[in-house]
Homo-oligomer: A and B are copies of this chain.
Amino acid sequence: MKAEILAVGTELLMGQIANTNAQYISSRLPDVGVGVYYHDVVGDNPERLKQALALAISRSDVIILTGGLGPTQDDLTKETVSAAVDRKLVLDQETYNNIKQFFQKREKPMTQNNMKQAYLPEGSLVIRNKNGTAPGCIIEQDGKVIIMLPGPPSEMKPMFDETVMPYFAAKSEFRLESRFLNIFGIGESAVEDALIDLIASQTNPTIAPYAKDGEVALRITARYPKHGNDEDLITPVENEIRNRLGQSVYSNDNRSLVEVASKLLLESGMTLALAESCTGGLLASKLTDIPGISAVFDRSIVTYSNRSKVEELGVSQQTLDLYGAVSEQTAREMAEGIRKASNTDIGISITGIAGPAGATAEKPVGLVYTALSDCNGTDVKRLDLWGNRNRIRYTACLHVFDILRRYLLARGKE
């Protein structure tokens, strides 16, 4: 089935918002066997909407309209669609009651305008809206499916997920299932190289690599017959990929690197302190995004000046003079210093040149050292990162969380 997504709203044509509804719907529909061929946006203008709708009906099987279902004069999607399919707008009693309740709860008077939302094209399937007052609906006519959904994403998404997706799933001859493997520590082309035979030969499931900022993701998508055949097609492929890529695969459930590392840390019960220079607090900030991390995360010292490295972490002035603040030696002393100062199980340090200034002939922008210290000693790793200041700081954090993750995995196996 060929689908078209027609968004109605002057705010899109003014550039006040991006059409994220079209993106969301487009990313989901292929899973129920519906391909998206067109997106269109028109303003709150009856004549242009009418023409756009006529064109969509002429060239697509499924037309999903978003927006223009509100209570004001501007909102004319339902009126235009009703006229196009030649159906009357009739009162939907349940919607009427819901709207009345909505206003009673908020102790606000219900204006006549709001009643408008309770009228839907005759014979349409109502899509209930738990997060707002405007319902959506599905109309089947002459082999075409026309669906109307409200514009606010917080209302549109649950209605789409809970009603529209099951509607198409029931029509589809098959069902698609996807799983994302998140990968860190190998580039996209190296991942492709390692899996090229699998990617080329697999037809069900299919494997598609995606580059994310500083990371790679693989999408494994299997097509199952609608009924019967419950054989799991995805897991054997995931296992083969894991055999080849090893611990570089860090999650198969959309969890981020910091979430995975934090969970391992919480499970280990080990305590952690950080000593940050080039990341300037970003590492601690990402770690403390995780609710509950205070059980194991003790402190981070952002030592931006050399003086603070000496005073807070006990880095020796001689080391700074001899090797500089961005060096293997300083990273080592920072990690050992923070572990000692905080009396935690693990101390991690990071020092580098995020740019744009600060580089020398020997030490380019992107040169970063990170060290992990525990009761058995200290490991230092050199990173050569690229990009602007923000990207370097961001990818430096990813590397630290990956180092911590691999350390905790290895320790768990002992």
Contact = CB atoms under 8 A, between A and B. Distances in A.
A344 B211 CA distance: 44
A298 interface: yes
Interface stretch (A117-125, A174-182, A281-289): A281-289
B305 A302 contact: no
A7 B41 CA distance: 12
A71 interface: no
B291 A280 contact: no
Copies in the complex: 2
A367 interface: no
A298 B305 contact: yes
Contact of A37 (B48, B276, B282, B284): B48
A301 B304 contact: no
A315 to B, nearest CB: 13
Nearest to A390: B289
Given A307-B298, A342-B308, A285 B289 contact: no
Interface in A338-357: 341-342, 355-357
Contacts of A292: 357
A270 to B, nearest CB: 14
Interface residues of A, number: 66
A389 B291 contact: yes
B40 A26 contact: no
Contacts of A24: 15
- In the complex, which of the residues A288, A289, A312 has the most CB atoms of chain B within 10 Å of its own CB atom? A288
A254 B36 CA distance: 38
A395 interface: no
A404 to B, nearest CB: 16
Nearest to A294: B304
Nearest to A14: B26
Interface of A: 7, 12-20, 22-28, 30, 36-43, 48, 52, 55, 210, 274, 276, 279-285, 287-289, 291-294, 297-305, 307-308, 311-312, 341-342, 355-357, 389-390
19 contacts: A12-B22, A12-B26, A14-B26, A14-B30, A15-B22, A15-B26, A16-B27, A16-B210, A18-B20, A22-B41, A37-B48, A38-B41, A38-B52, A39-B40, A39-B41, A279-B288, A280-B289, A299-B302, A311-B341
Given A291-B356, A299-B312, 8 more contacts: A14-B36, A15-B22, A18-B23, A19-B23, A40-B41, A280-B284, A285-B285, A301-B312
